[in-house]
Amino acid sequence: MSQIESLLHEDRAFPPTAEFKSAARISDPAEYAEMYRESILDPEAFWGRMARELPWMVDFDKVLDWSDAPFARWFEGGKLNASAACLDQHLEGPRAHKTAIRWEGEPGDVREFTYTELHAEVSRCANALKARGTKKGDRVAIYMPMVPELAVAVLACARIGAAHSVIFGGFSSKALRDRIQDGDCSTVICADGGWRRGKILPLKREVDAALEGIDSVHTVLVVRRTEQEVAWFKERDTWYHEALAAADAECAPEPMDSEDLLFLLYTSGSTGKPKGIMHTTGGYMVGAYLSARFVFDLREDDVYWCSADIGWITGHSYIVYGPLSNGATVVMYEGAPTTPHPGRFWEICEKHKVTVFYTAPTAIRTFMRLGEEHPEKFDLSRLRLLGSVGEAINPEAWIWYRRVIGGDRCPIVDTWWQTETGSIMITPLPGVHDTPPGSAMRPFFGVDAVILDEAGAELPANQGGLLCIKKPWPSMLRGIWGDEQRYRDTYWSEIPGVYFAGDGARRDEQGNFWIMGRVDDVINVSGHRLSTMEVESALVSHPKVCEAAVVARPDEITGQAISAFVTVGADVEVSDELRVELGEHVTQEIGKLARPREMRFTDALPKTRSGKIMRRLLRDVAAGTETSGDTSTIEDLSVLAKLRGDEI
């Protein structure tokens, strides 16, 4: 029963332009094929060579030890410091005075750090932490808005060998407390507050509440950002700017064993307590470095912007560790995409001359809904490459992104990966592949991805099934903090010996992967297992629809029926006729089976704070039952309340 039917058909494919190809790091399909072949057939040679592009303090003697599977040990014997790989290695040459981070605040203030300046700031922060007793082997919770000090704090922890645990600045004090306790953190780095949509988030107040009765935390380092009044606990609290002013700008990076913990990052499953995903130094850095280099095709003069928050894995790997270890210029933005105006992102692209832009489908669909007139006001001609991550990008949004933002000239890399995988796993290489809208394309180097049925047998082309990874890869998670058994159970037991983290996918006859959504979300209509992604794509391809989420509702006759939640364009009138029209549209696009039994129009869909649609909450709404499961990660609870109240 693990198979998922595929109804979606896509014939379009877009090659990179000759201009893009001629400058790309890899553009020759034969070269790519040979590299991929080696990475699979001789991973030790491939990864050994790639890893040695990083500045190891002590070379490793063994590439991989998988004898204790599913606990991998990569690059053993090697010593590396992640902050030195991001900073120190660039100070000896022409990058010393290159911009490392160019940051813009929501109110429009701009700050810049060259690699030399960032190195000094990180070293001061590292010394300040050490002076307060924070040391190698500790865990440090970081709870901050998207200010440069967030990147500094992360790198300072890496510098002294303390593992960071970044907790997204939008989480409540309860979520913060749970994570601080679970990680047994000694130190918290936070800000007084942060700007979000013109308002101040009172972060320090949340920290104070979170720490009540917790005595493991001896230090709270507080960045001054919003300058509002904050409570102060003299024994525990220190202003960041005061501590750094008193600290030396030289701090030797701690030589870390390859398998030393670099960070914890919590992911919340639909049930149960959040999992502290563990990433270690060497393998994670190799994965982040290499994928950033090849997937974003980073060149010396690129200005690279990833609009994610550093509180998510995307920010860890593709704002901090990946681009900085490549010596790139990184744009960082504090605020919301539409504050103070709907063209904010495009204004930033123009102002900072962004060349590579990486964002999420939820943002792209929002911009589609807001209209083309906003991006049209800005000069986006410097953009040369676009990326997408976080959810499946439906072909409609993909085409819009390519045309309106990418000027029909930029390749799009639709990158599939997870907190657990640490770095991008399935993606096109932008100079190599012709990309069909909606496909995440090919496994990245060293990634042995397969589509399996429940018994572990490989499925033929175009059969949807479980997306699994057969071989270990350097940036894979090393476990769940404090819960070895949960690690084995969650990822390695669905199909013994193979990594499975919950997504369904199919591979087409050309070998391209199409992600079909979480297998928990699959809808079973009369024994046909349908992918949410495909039905949603069909809905969104109707010109009046902006966003859609479909879920299963119990049905006496068909077992399950499809319930659709739809948002429409600002100027669209909702009516029963429109329901019929959309139903017919789905029938035409992918077939009668997929036609929603029920359709509700709504202003907004419930999403996580990182922008993923929370279908499990919609299931309860569709079934007419109470909300079950965790709602702590929802972006806006009122969206759910509204859905339950004003149905039309």
Judged by the rule CB under 6 A, the positions of this chain that interact with ligand 7RM are 267, 312-314, 389-392, 414-419, 440, 501-503, 515, 518, 610
Beta strand 194-196 with 199-201 is antiparallel
Q: What's 301-344 look like in SS3? A: CCEEEECCCCCCHHHHHHHHHHHHHCCCEEEEECCCCCCCCCCH
The least CB distance from residue 182 to ligand 7RM, in Å, is 18
Name which of 105 and 315 has its Cβ closer to ligand 7RM: 315
Burial (0-12, 13-18, 19+ Cβ within 10 Å), 449: buried
The pair of three-digit structure tokens given for residue 413, joined into one six-digit string = 């890399």
180-208 in b/e form (b: 16+ CB < 10 A) is: bbbbebbbbbbbbbbbbeeeebbbbbbbb
Name which of 366 and 419 has its Cβ closer to ligand 7RM: 419
The least CB distance from residue 72 to ligand 7RM, in Å, is 19
Name which of 118 and 498 has its Cβ closer to ligand 7RM: 498
The least CB distance from residue 337 to ligand 7RM, in Å, is 17
Q: Which residues contact 158 (CB under 8 A, 6 or more apart)?
A: 81, 82, 83, 86, 164, 262, 263
- Which residue's beta carbon is nearest to the bound ligand 7RM? 419
Name which of 417 and 473 has its Cβ closer to ligand 7RM: 417
Please give the Cα distance from 237 to 396 (Å, whole number).
50
The least CB distance from residue 192 to ligand 7RM, in Å, is 28
**β-bridge partners, 465:** 505
The least CB distance from residue 427 to ligand 7RM, in Å, is 8
The span from the first CA to the last CA of the chain, in angstroms, equals: 35
What's the maximum distance between 2 C-alpha atoms anywhere in the chain? 72
Please give the Cα distance from 103 to 333 (Å, whole number).
6
The least CB distance from residue 281 to ligand 7RM, in Å, is 20
Helices (H), 271-419: 281-295, 313-315, 322-325, 344-352, 361-370, 373-376, 395-400
Give the amino acid at 207.
Answer: V
Name which of 537 and 563 has its Cβ closer to ligand 7RM: 537
Please give the Cα distance from 426 to 86 (Å, whole number).
24
The least CB distance from residue 252 to ligand 7RM, in Å, is 33
DSSP line for 507-545: E-TTS-EEEEEEGGG-EEETTEEE-HHHHHHHHHTSTTE
E strand or H helix that includes residue 112: strand 110-114
Name which of 78 and 517 has its Cβ closer to ligand 7RM: 517
287-315 in b/e form (b: 16+ CB < 10 A) is: bbbbbbbbbbbbbeebbbbbbbbbbbbbb
Q: Which residue has the tokens 């090919």?
A: 442
Please give the Cα distance from 285 to 51 (Å, whole number).
9
Name which of 349 and 413 has its Cβ closer to ligand 7RM: 413
Name which of 141 and 477 has its Cβ closer to ligand 7RM: 477
The least CB distance from residue 267 to ligand 7RM, in Å, is 5
The pair of three-digit structure tokens given for residue 29, joined into one six-digit string = 């399909």
CB atoms closer than 10 angstroms to residue 40: 16
Peptide bond into 342 cis (omega under 30): no
Name which of 375 and 504 has its Cβ closer to ligand 7RM: 504
Beta strand 412-415 with 385-389 is parallel
Name which of 156 and 469 has its Cβ closer to ligand 7RM: 469
Name which of 311 and 472 has its Cβ closer to ligand 7RM: 311
The least CB distance from residue 216 to ligand 7RM, in Å, is 27
Name which of 223 and 440 has its Cβ closer to ligand 7RM: 440
Beta strand 513-518 with 329-333 is unpaired
Name which of 138 and 503 has its Cβ closer to ligand 7RM: 503
Question: Residue 523: what are its φ and ψ, rounded to 5°?
Answer: -110, 130
The least CB distance from residue 425 to ligand 7RM, in Å, is 9
Please give the Cα distance from 614 to 605 (Å, whole number).
8
CB 271 within 8 A of CB 630: yes
Name which of 415 and 563 has its Cβ closer to ligand 7RM: 415
Beta strand 449-452 with 275-280 is unpaired
Please give the Cα distance from 176 to 172 (Å, whole number).
6
The least CB distance from residue 505 to ligand 7RM, in Å, is 8
Phi-psi region of 502 (alpha: psi -120 to 50; beta: other; left: phi over 0): left
